[in-house]
Amino acid sequence: MPDRPDKQGLRIGLVGHGFMGRVHALAWRTVGQLYPLPVSPVLAALAGRDEQRADDAAAQLGFPVAVADWRLLVDRPDIDVIDICTPVDSHAEIARRALAAGKHVLCEKPLARTAGEARQMADDADQAERDGLVAGVGYNYRRLPAIELARQFVAKGRIGEIRHVRARYLQDWLASSDGPWSWRLDAGQAGSGALGDIGSHLIDLVAHVAGLRLSAVTGSLDTFVGSRAPDSPNGARPRPVTVDDACTFMGRAQNGVLAVFEASRAALGRKNQLSLELNGTEGTIVFDLERLNELGWYSGADDDVARGFRRILVTEDTHPYLEAWWPPGHTLGWDHSFVHQARDFVCAVSGHQPYAPGFTDALYVQQAIDAVMISARTGAWQPVPPGDGAADVLVATPNRTGETASSLDAGHRGGAS
């Protein structure tokens, strides 16, 4: 078993310093100011791809050291945790090498590009966890207080037996055909588009809040703009978009519950709108990320004259995660979910509690994603494996004309992140 972090603190090595890396760094810096922790996180080192940009990011984010190769970070003996905030195609290599080096790992979602890749990571994590390491995945929406309260409502039977689930996640950063190409639009680097990027959150939330895992899915993918030019001052040529801009799919859970999902990065006017609705035999729960401090609840136990949706303002110190924050009514923001994630990860590393979701939980999400992609290609319902890994699947993103974009198979892994 690896040594527990000593008085030097829990030393964090951050791989990647883009949008998500900045959020993680903020959370590591903040968590100890709010929560009493068994050990304090210490920003030890940062890795990027370009030495100058990594140095600049380290100075801005509070890391004393930067390197231009993540392998140097993984091999350092003075690092306890490898926090992976890189494009998806690099997750497997970094995480597997970090676990083999005896590091705890926190990896951003989605875990991998395919279920086959995720299976290898989950197998390594299982062995590493037996050796005392923690391997967690950053599905941060689990740690919004209102989402955790919703989970508790379901667990306590407040809405009875679940009958329907609706989950939707909409963004609009690809609504314009002039939007620039990025790695998120390449199957070789991202695995899938809106389905994996934001749809994965929906699959995970349904499993977490409702306790429902999908047993079969049927779905459709759409790519509205088939090529985009990189954001380059030199006028770079357009590159093909090989993932979906939007997806819709239905799923049946193992107990027969019907769930409906929608994810889009081209829904004009929707900046980051995630919604979840659970209809039960005795009540309904509604969550909307644009009102993230609130939970909607309809109780069938109310009498006729008082029956209706009520708004629960989730800011009391008796609500999940809120004992460390501000007085009631002083709302939190999106970034605070990452602070809660950091708290739970530190406590797990210190042996005070387990951490979820782990790599096996994230493997299930990837199995469901792969099943949706197969269904979109074949037009048929596709089973989601009950827990075993799945082979890498063809990524084929039909666009509006019925043409098929280029694909990823088991032998093609795309360019560097």
Place of tokens 């939190």: 332
Task: Please enumerate in sequence order all residues whose Cβ is within 8 A of that of 378, keeping only pairs 6 or more positions apart, or say none.
Answer: none
First to last CA, the chain: 33
Alpha-carbon gap, residue 47 to 57, rounded angstroms: 9
Per-residue pLDDT of the chain (417 residues; tens, 9 = 90+): 444 445 579 999 999 999 999 999 999 999 999 999 999 999 999 999 999 999 999 999 999 999 999 999 999 999 999 999 999 999 999 999 999 999 999 999 999 999 999 999 999 999 999 999 999 999 999 999 999 999 999 999 999 999 999 999 999 999 999 999 999 999 999 999 999 999 999 999 999 999 999 999 999 999 999 999 998 767 688 999 999 999 999 999 988 999 999 999 999 999 999 999 999 999 999 999 999 999 999 999 999 998 999 999 999 999 999 999 999 999 999 999 999 999 999 999 999 899 999 999 999 999 999 999 999 999 999 999 986 443 333 333 333 333 333 333 322 222 233
Place of tokens 């739970």: 344
Domains of the chain: 10-139 (3.40.50.720), 142-349 (3.30.360.10)
Task: Name the token pair of 210.
Answer: 């409702």
